[in-house]
Amino acid sequence: MGRAQCRSDMAQSSTLTKRESYAPMAEPLMEGRQRVIVARVSPEVDCGRFAIKRVVGERVIVEADVFADGHDQIACQILYQQSGHELQASPMKPLGNDRWRGEFTVDKLGGYCYTVEGWIDRFETWRRDLEKRISAKQDISVDLLIGAELIERGAARAAPEDARVLLDCAQRLRENAGNDSGAAIALDSEILKLIRHYPERDFVTQYEKQLPVVVEREKACFSAWYELFPRSCAPEPGRHGTFRDCEEWLAYIASMGFDVIYLPPIHPIGKTFRKGRNNSVSSQPGDVGSPWAIGSAEGGHKSIHPDLGTEQDFRRFLAKAADHGLEVALDIALQCSPDHPYVQQHPEWFSTRPDGTIQYAENPPKKYQDIYPFYFETPQWRELWQELKSIFLFWIEQGVRIFRVDNPHTKSFPFWEWLIGEIKTHHPDVIFLSEAFTRPKVMYRLAKLGFSQSYTYFTWRNTRQELTDYFNEVTQSEVREYFRPNLWPNTPDILPEFLQVGGRPSFVLRLILAATLGASYGIYGPAFELCENAPVATGREEYLNSEKYELKHRDLNSNHSLKSLISRLNRIRKENPALQSNRNLRFHETDNPSILCYSKASDDLSSVIIVVVNLDCFHVQTGWLNIDLSSIGLDARHSFQVHDLLGEGRFLWQGSRNYVELAPESLPAHILRLRRWVRTEQDFDYYL
């Protein structure tokens, strides 16, 4: 390390304050008699820096290490609180090895927090020891007097009627301390039950942090998205579609069972450096340009492209969609075309090059001259942030409650944390989807900062190993506390190799995986249901004649459309609560790497789905499953029925090992609902 660098550190980093690493409690002396330790509370994201996420009605299962010195019994409980409301408590039970667990349910939108407190349970300690002394036939007369004192102290905390009962008991203990009836009085289970209501919590230890929860509405976790370019919705080819045209599509989309229609940006599109078909650098007259090149003389992020319609048309479209049970998600891409009004009005929000021009978007050597990124290091960042926030508020005002955010990973992290916090404080029902396909830590950070849902690597995970590893990571590790996956088999930017080569069976396969592996999933339609799979060039994932740069016109009634399969899948998802959560995913062994098997089960095991997928879209695959029966509440002795909700077959299976055979062209997967027999004790006897 260079000499000068060191000097420079000292100057710039004098904020590293001296800290006494020894004796943190030397002064002032706190309460030295707090003997209980509460540590390693989970869930806890980055030492409590970030909130865990839940939807209304979900449980929060809290665990903690709680223990004390010596041999005393301890007790502990969760304390939790909806912001601005009353504190509540929920008991915890020991799991062994000084670990405790409890739970509470969040039933309101907004913020909660929780913590854990523990204390010496003096009465239980005394009672446990007393039982041991009695077993060892020791003299307990003094111990009974100690118990009388504990009960009297309990009475002092009790409601009057309970206090009377306790004081009476204490008195009888004192009177009978020397004779044989004392033990029976002391161990009376009614007294135990009563005094448990009035624990002596002196020197209680509360965990040093209050951990935050953000509670969102159910759709933040469970949703089915359909991405649609409204300009391609005209009934006749070649005409620019309008919101009025889109209304005609609502019945079609609703019939497939989707609940979110997501629209790419609907704003005026820039003309300077407009991209032509297939992303050519020069556009031809009539080329419509990319919707992500936002802004022209006709307006910016708060305006609607005149060819789509008016604000009134848009609001009418939202209402019509709602009539079909559909919500509209808007795409917010925080970038400008060179023609955006901001460029003239606020040049300070952009970076200027030494030649006086504005810095266009680049990832050298690639140049995107039709896009000006906002300059998040501008000295006027406060004004920029406020203006960007006002864009979201504008569309919230129009009735939008879901935003898909374009490339959030190229805007500064502090901005997103502030923005989402600001919006959700006043609109806790707003959902944000993070469209970041980038490095894992960046994707996870965005989720921690507040995005409700995130795009995932599912798009490129095809093999059993890849799928198992990735979905174990997002559903079984700490990641699940803050990252909610939204699975997309395709997007306007990504036609994955797997779909390019696998034909219709590969679309079927990826659709089934997306709809059952994830509680949220989406497709870019109608490209998906019509199995469009021509890339712009070999080795590229861009669509040929991409809809990003031109109008499309399709035949929705094509024979090979997947619309009926999609309808069925979305109905299965809605009818089976097991498929509406992510944290309940479990993979099961198979003896054939082309066969993937996983299950999902509701908390109470009343809904259990087992999915078996042939990952090979070219060949029939057969194999044996090895199902972890305990994870779905079964044991190996009994047979059980599984009902294939896709193929309608019914199978009687026994134990963990069962055979499957799946043909890609006809039935590439089973989605099996477990039918649980209700057996009586007599039935069990019969089997034994």
Considering only residues 380 through 439, tell me which ones interact with a second copy, judged by CB under 8 A.
Answer: 381-382, 385, 409-415, 417-418, 420-422, 424-425, 439
Q: Check if the beta carbon of residue 629 is closer than 8 Å to that of residue 655.
A: yes
DSSP symbol at 549: T
Please, which residues have CB within 8 angstroms of residue 648's CB and are 6 or more apart in sequence? none
**109 makes contact with a second copy (CB under 8 A):** no
Query: Using CB under 8 A, which of the segments 79-87, 254-262, 600-608, 631-639 binds a second copy?
Result: 79-87
34 binds a second copy (CB under 8 A): yes
Would you count residue 26 as binding a second copy (CB under 8 A)? Answer: yes
Comparison of 81 and 580: residue with beta carbon closer to a second copy: 81
187 belongs to the binding site for a second copy (CB under 8 A): no
Window 624-643: residues binding a second copy (CB under 8 A): none
State yes or no: residue 69 binds a second copy (CB under 8 A): yes
Q: Candidates 27-35, 245-253, 539-547, 613-621 — which segment interacts with a second copy by CB under 8 A? A: 27-35
Minimum separation from the CB atom of position 79 to a second copy (A): 5
Q: Is 48 helix (H, G, I), strand (E, B) or coil?
A: helix
Ranges within 125-164 binding a second copy (CB under 8 A): 128-129, 132-133, 135-136, 138, 142, 145-146, 149, 157-159, 162
For β-strands 520-524 and 486-487, DSSP reports them as: parallel
Q: Which is nearer to a second copy, 81 or 533 (CB)?
A: 81
Distance of closest approach, residue 67 Cβ to a second copy, in angstroms: 6
29 binds a second copy (CB under 8 A): yes
Part of the chain binding a second copy (CB under 8 A), chosen from 89-97, 237-245, 462-470, 507-515 = 89-97
Distance of closest approach, residue 222 Cβ to a second copy, in angstroms: 22
- Which amino acid is present at 152? E
Cα 158 to Cα 195: distance, rounded to the nearest angstrom: 8
Does the protein bind a second copy through residue 239 (CB under 8 A)? no
Active-site residue, selected from the candidate residues 58, 143, 406, 541:
406
| DSSP state, residue 593 | T
Pairwise CA distance, residues 232 & 77, whole Å: 57
* Cα gap 216→431, rounded to integer Å: 8
Binding status of residue 17 toward a second copy by CB under 8 A: yes
CA distance 414 to 446: 10
| Residue 98 a catalytic site member | no
Count the neighbouring beta carbons within 10 Å of the beta carbon of residue 463. Answer: 12
Q: Is residue 362 a contact point for a second copy (CB under 8 A)?
A: yes
Span near a second copy by CB under 8 A; candidates 314-322, 347-355, 477-485, 554-562: 347-355
Residue 70 binds to a second copy (criterion: CB under 8 A): yes
Q: Does 4 bind a second copy (CB under 8 A)?
A: yes
Instruction: Please tell me the count of residues contacting a second copy according to CB under 8 A.
Output: 123
- Whether residue 227 lies in the annotated active site: no
**What are the tokens at 121?**
């349970």
Peptide bond into 365 cis (omega under 30): yes
Comparison of 29 and 534: residue with beta carbon closer to a second copy:
29
Contact set for a second copy, span 440-459 (CB under 8 A) = 440-442, 445, 450
C-alpha to C-alpha distances, 633 to 475, 638, 654, nearest whole angstrom = 20, 11, 14
Chain Cα centroid distance, residue 248: 33
CB of 347 closer than 8 Å to CB of 358: yes
| Cα–Cα distance for residue pair 52/205, rounded to 1 Å | 23
The amino acid occupying position 480 is: R
Which one from 216, 327, 331, 435 is the annotated catalytic residue? 435
Q: At what angle do helices 413-426 and 440-449 cross, to 10 degrees?
A: 30
What is the C-alpha separation between 7 and 476, in angstroms, rounded?
46
Q: Catalytic amino acids?
A: 406, 435
